Amino acid sequence: MKNFAKIFLSVAVCMSLANAEKVQHVFETPKDTTPFNGVELDWGVDLTFTFQGLDQNYGAEIKDGLALPTADLDLEAKVMSGFNVKLETMLSSHHHHETFVKGGYATMDNLDFIYPGFAKGFMDNATISVGVNDINYGDYHFRRTDNADVMRNPFINNMGIEGYMQAGFLEVLYRMPSLNMFVLGGITNGEVNPDDIADGQGKDAYGFYAKAGWDSQISDSTRVRLTESLFMIEDTSKSRLYMGDKAGNVPRKIFGSDDFGAVWNAVSGYKDLTASNTNLFIDCDKTGTEFFGLFEYADGVNQSDEDFTMVHYSAEVVQRFAGDKLYAAARYENATVEREGDALDDELTQYQVGLGWFLSKNAMMKVEYINQERKNIASYGQDVKFDGYMVSAALSF
């Protein structure tokens, strides 16, 4: 309880710093159509404290305590008409205790820097993005905890399997406003540091991804969004799609890993991979109810050319109260992986229940119970499990 009180006090004391709302775009960022009146610079800071009280049946005993606080610093600049750049830096993370540049990228909402009006008919509804960042595969990456950036996630922990990658990319997003739809296509090298690429090792393989979505306010109080994403890569030895996080997991010391034990890289070592990801989001302002569902199917071959298939799904419900200041949330997740030559399928099941409280637009607290089980995974030699509670407090300004 003393540690819990310290977290609460830290937030209460720092609330005086939270004097500017940090804008959170739930999904894709809208086009920037504002006029250019000179270079504009903006910045944002995230700071999160987390206390964990977890138990597990594999690996060393986990001691209750406060984890290393995490912090981010983001710099954004508008440098030309419709041309914005962003630099994301992790000041402290569970995997990189020292300052680490997560990535940087540019978004172009017009091509007037080539000459005024260039490709205007296309660019009126398009955005081109290039750099190093989260690739836009699925919708889950918009809702996950990203190091200290936790406001968008109603839970403390992320899912047990994450189709999520930070890498170099180039993508084009095209909107069709009259249909409430959009389409997107992109390419990625799967690498944050291209100097790691070695010829002849398959590391120079490029992945291709695409996304199509329908997002509509079907009534005054109800928004529905349905998206389908696809990712494809061949002849690679860098299986990054399910191990793309550079910050480390929220909980520490899970299953003998300091930083990445809480998330299962279910198809580790793939050579060829095709994955599809379907997401449904429903938000009803009138009742304060929110639903987010995911269904993912992936198949391919490993480095030994053995087949595998993964089926992964999750469903979460968030109920908000008191003018969205308070909420309760629950999530269920399951995944099975069938591997050539294995008698039994590998399986992960995770469920989470939590409560959240927005002390202000810039400060919040969460408490959560999490239970994760993994079965039939040969590397463990037994069925493994961790469960317990976590508490976090966060500032974003």
Cβ-based neighbour number of residue 18 at 10 Å = 19
Amino acid 190: pLDDT: 85
Query: What pLDDT, on the 0 to 100 scale, is given for residue 26?
Result: 80
Asked if residue 13 has pLDDT above 90, the reply is no
Tens of pLDDT, residues 171-187: 999 999 999 999 999 99
Residue 123, both tokens: 């660019």
Q: Which residue has the higher pLDDT, 200 or 75?
A: 75
Distance (Å, whole) CA 271 – CA 241: 12
Beta strand 207-217 with 40-56: parallel, antiparallel or unpaired?
A: unpaired
Inform me whether the pLDDT recorded for 20 exceeds 70. no
pLDDT band at 195 (very low <50, low <70, confident <90, very high): low
- Write the pLDDT tens digit of every residue in 313-349: 999 999 999 988 999 999 999 999 999 989 899 999 9
Mean pLDDT of 3-29: 48
Examine the pLDDT at 278 and tell me if it is beyond 70. yes
| 3-state SS class at 6 | helix
Q: Does 25 have pLDDT greater than 70?
A: no
State the average pLDDT over residues 190-217. Answer: 76
User: How would DSSP label each residue in 323-347?
Assistant: TTTEEEEEEEEEEEEEETT-SS-EE
Per-residue pLDDT tens digits for 230-270: 999 998 877 789 988 889 999 999 998 888 999 999 998 88
pTM reported for the whole predicted model: 0.90
**Confidence check: pLDDT of 19 > 60:** no
Residue 79 predicted with pLDDT over 50 = yes
Res 24 pLDDT > 50: no
CA atoms within 13 A on the CB side of 146: 25
The residue range of the domain holding 245 is: 2-396
pLDDT at 212: 98
Q: 85-109 pLDDT, tens per residue?
A: 999 999 999 998 889 899 999 999 9
Q: How far is CA 179 from the centre of its chain?
A: 27
Average pLDDT over residues 198-211: 73
Predicted confidence (pLDDT) at residue 36 exceeds the cutoff of 50: yes
The count of structural domains within the chain is 1
Segments of 177-286 assigned E as strands: 181-188, 207-217, 222-233, 270-284
CATH classification of the domain holding 133: 2.40.160.10
